[in-house]
Chain A
């Protein structure tokens, strides 16, 4: 007897919904009518005629309509207040009741809450990362219109590279494109600021003046850079970044118009940029170690010369703003067409051969995609999916617990139903219980997310852009709250399917109360699903574990232990020639080597596994490249003597010494990878090689004196690097090219914590020259770790997710098998009475468990085959369908299933046939 109308009334009663206003009005009418009738009766009784009595009553009462309206207004207000407070009281009563019910089964409530809280917390934490890194737009006005403009090339020997624009290309593009509102170029670097506050290296953005209108940036004080500041020969002026202005100048607007002292020339400060204005990422060939935006501290104009001879040098990252209605694809086509004209427009810099050999092309993509990179978005979505799966598994367990509890309360529900509580009433009861539980779980989940996020930020690789912007926010609470609500609704509505037939629970009487096939099947489905999802997660984490193990097995070709690295830049103004620079560095080398704890000191213009980039074409002596041969374009850093020893890089043959530097012997060291390309099958020692200007250059050829067997300078997951290390001195004296102003020092120490040496290094450098800053102290060990960071990060998260999934599945299997055993107690008792042995009974139970798990494993394997493809980008030397990994996790799950069913099996085996039969 559950008509929809009755049901509605019941729900309304339960939730104390307001009664209609007509009822309230009616009450006042009744009250006044009573008054008049009573009075009339009294007057009639006192002897008046009926008509007189009515008149007298009306006269005494006064204006009936007026009083009626006034009374009604007050009464309605009263009813409203009362209903509101009653509704609140009813709600609190409902919650208190639910809390009492939940407290009666503390184990159930605790396990369900914690399980859900962990799942919600993990999902919320990853959601926050995903939101901040992938979903939130870039911090520019109308940032969706911004595109990145680069010139990708496939460099022989190095693979795909993203070059920037050349100066000539920039002017050509800016003048002739038909798809952009504006185009800007920039590169990034350091600037040594001097003055009373001490010398420091700050991050500098060298930009075309068009960057500000392109980004739609505003000044906070003064002005930004104007086109006239950007002309060749214009006086150098700078705009301060907001953070730097706050830090160095205490936010004083008076600095506008004053001069900024630097290691080079002083430059006028013309303005301060608005807070938060920065470049989206470092310029091309800039360090990729920190992609968390490039915090520009000083903005300067590049002052490119449009009339200069075109050069094949691609230094400038491009940012453009699309015209309204133009898609990135249209801009891509536009820029491709313009790039194809390069050999015609700039024949001296771009030959048709070069265009073909390097597959030199244009690349216009949304700026957001460029900042994020091609793999990060998918990786984060995949991690989100992984924690989503954990949440689903956790939810399945909780749903299972609710099902069990529902069975246990079947009698209660049946009695309540029989006593007249109809379905809506029961529904309200169940809903308020489940919602209370999931709300508490959601709140705890927010705490879990907060803690998880902090841990996540510690282990996350630093080259995830905008990771620093991740924090607990209203969104987190919204997200966790949404999941809690959804979970609560589903759990609360689950019994709805059952209450319909619940009267059967009573009819069956006190005996048995065995459930029908419905819930048993539901529970088996839950277990199969859980196992399938857990297998997918475990496969993913297994693949990542194997990748990391493979990566750890890779020989970087250097010995990072105990090595401290610092960047030391000497000012051009004080060290005009290469030799002057070498003299300073040599002195510093000697002083540093005498510090206690220091074993060896060396330096190079680029550090392996740090920002080892760049690409210069190298030529070999006596053998020009054939038409089929690819011209190698490789890194060409300079290294001081003992750099290889300090870094623990093995060199066979002769590594240059200070004697080589003094005598300008021109001895260079190449890696085996480069030697094999240039002189396959030959001994490279003594061979001639050069970079600058090719075979006709005044430098002549350098001689290979040593070979590095293997060095992975670009990353552990990359092939051995092709590189030539040039000496600290040029073969010809007083040539200013290739100055040695910025050097990365490698200081090999015997210290457990090499960073502890930094203070003495700073002191020593300051004694030598107070204008020279020491920046970026790091250990080489951290560079090696960083090189694996992305893989380790994904591995760590997936392993945690996998472990959670495994644990939750084990609990789920245990719960269901226990339940099934309890269900079959009678049957087992009969079997044993008929002579079945204990081992047979145990086998029956374990077999049932294994059957469920096997189905789950089968489904999970199918899912893993498809799902793990998403991992491809972060896997190293492991196939996404690695049979060893898939087999191992399948066996692991089957083993866990067996273990989880041991307890229930033992319980089944201990069934006393006599007792069971008596109970039946």
Chain B
């Protein structure tokens, strides 16, 4: 594991899961692998934490789950975005981008300007 791997910010796991599933249905392991692949393993998340989150999102009606089989014939539970889940994703993306812009401005601000 690289020393510089990032702890996932609190509350952003939902966003990550929704975004991950926006490409199509995946099981839990699929979600983990996808995050690893896009972030080049920089984003570190305890894999177990994924499951309470998935179930919570399912309970909210943003995801729906179905049992299916993997390529290698293993029984797995697949999650996929619902219509409301999709709406939620775009809302969260907007919030996130406003948030990062704001934080970015704070960081980029010239020292002494506020003094």
Contact = CB atoms under 8 A, between A and B. Distances in A.
17 contacts: A30-B77, A34-B29, A35-B28, A37-B74, A38-B74, A38-B76, A39-B47, A60-B47, A61-B47, A62-B46, A62-B48, A62-B49, A63-B48, A67-B49, A67-B52, A71-B51, A75-B55
Contacts of A74: 52, 55-56, 59
Interface in B40-84: 46-49, 51-52, 55-56, 58-59, 70, 74-77
B19 interface: no
A63 B51 CA distance: 12
Contact of A60 (B27, B46, B59, B75): B46
B8 to A, nearest CB: 13
Interface in A49-87: 60-64, 66-68, 70-71, 74-75, 77-78, 81
Contacts of A629: none
Contact of A61 (B46, B58, B75): B46
B96 to A, nearest CB: 24
Contact of A38 (B51, B55, B58, B70): B70
A695 to B, nearest CB: 103
Contacts of A31: 28, 51, 76-77
Interface string A1-44: 00000000000000000000000000110111011011100100
Contacts of B51: 28, 31-32, 35, 67-68, 70-71
B47 A35 contact: yes
A74 B53 CA distance: 9
A61 B77 contact: no
In order of increasing CB-CB distance, the 3 nearest A-B pairs are A67-B48, A62-B46, A74-B55
Contacts of B27: 34
A677 B76 CA distance: 109
Nearest to A75: B55
A651 B26 CA distance: 111
A205 to B, nearest CB: 69
B52 to A, nearest CB: 4
Contacts of B47: 35, 39, 60-62
Interface of B: 27-29, 46-49, 51-52, 55-56, 58-59, 70, 74-77
Nearest to A30: B75
A34 B65 CA distance: 15
B49 A71 contact: no
Nearest to B33: A42
Contacts of B77: 27, 30-31, 34
Contacts of B74: 34, 37-38
B59 A61 contact: no
Nearest to B46: A62
Contact of B55 (A42, A64, A71): A71
A34 to B, nearest CB: 5
Contacts of A39: 29, 47
A34 B76 CA distance: 7
Nearest to A77: B59
A77 B75 CA distance: 23
B58 A78 contact: yes
With a 10 A CB-CB cut-off, give which of B28, B52, B56 has the most chain A CB atoms. B52
A27 B28 CA distance: 14
Contacts of A60: 46-47
Nearest to A39: B29
A31 B55 CA distance: 11
Contacts of A35: 28-29, 47, 51
A77 B56 CA distance: 10
Nearest to A76: B55
Contacts of A78: 55, 58-59
A840 B75 CA distance: 77
B36 to A, nearest CB: 10
Contacts of A32: 48, 51
B48 A64 contact: yes
B39 to A, nearest CB: 15
Given A31-B28, A71-B51, 14 more contacts: A31-B77, A32-B48, A34-B28, A34-B76, A35-B51, A38-B76, A39-B29, A61-B48, A62-B47, A63-B48, A66-B48, A67-B52, A74-B56, A81-B59
Contacts of A67: 48-49, 51-52
Contacts of A66: 48
A886 B56 CA distance: 77
Contacts of A37: 74
Contacts of B58: 78
Contacts of B59: 74, 77-78, 81
Contacts of A68: 51
Contacts of A63: 48
B34 to A, nearest CB: 13
A68 B46 CA distance: 13
Nearest to B27: A34
A28 B54 CA distance: 11
A61 B59 CA distance: 22
Interface in A195-226: none
Contacts of B70: 38
A64 B47 CA distance: 10
A70 to B, nearest CB: 4
A584 B64 CA distance: 97
A71 B52 contact: yes
Contact of B52 (A30, A64, A70): A70
A62 B45 CA distance: 10
A71 B50 CA distance: 9
A61 B49 CA distance: 8
B61 to A, nearest CB: 10
With a 10 A CB-CB cut-off, give which of B48, B75, B76 has the most chain A CB atoms. B48
B16 to A, nearest CB: 16
A140 to B, nearest CB: 58
A61 B32 CA distance: 10
With a 10 A CB-CB cut-off, give which of B49, B55, B56, B58 has the most chain A CB atoms. B55
Nearest to B59: A78
Contacts of A34: 27-29, 74-77
With a 10 A CB-CB cut-off, give which of A62, A74, A77 has the most chain B CB atoms. A74
A672 B31 CA distance: 113
A68 B49 CA distance: 10
A378 B47 CA distance: 80
Contacts of A30: 75, 77
A75 B74 CA distance: 22
A42 B74 CA distance: 13
A74 B48 CA distance: 14
Contacts of A61: 46-48
Nearest to A63: B48
Nearest to A71: B51
Given A71-B55, A74-B59, A78-B55, A38 B29 contact: yes
A569 to B, nearest CB: 79
Nearest to A31: B77
A218 to B, nearest CB: 57
A81 B74 CA distance: 29
A27 B70 CA distance: 17
With a 10 A CB-CB cut-off, give which of A31, A60, A78 has the most chain B CB atoms. A31
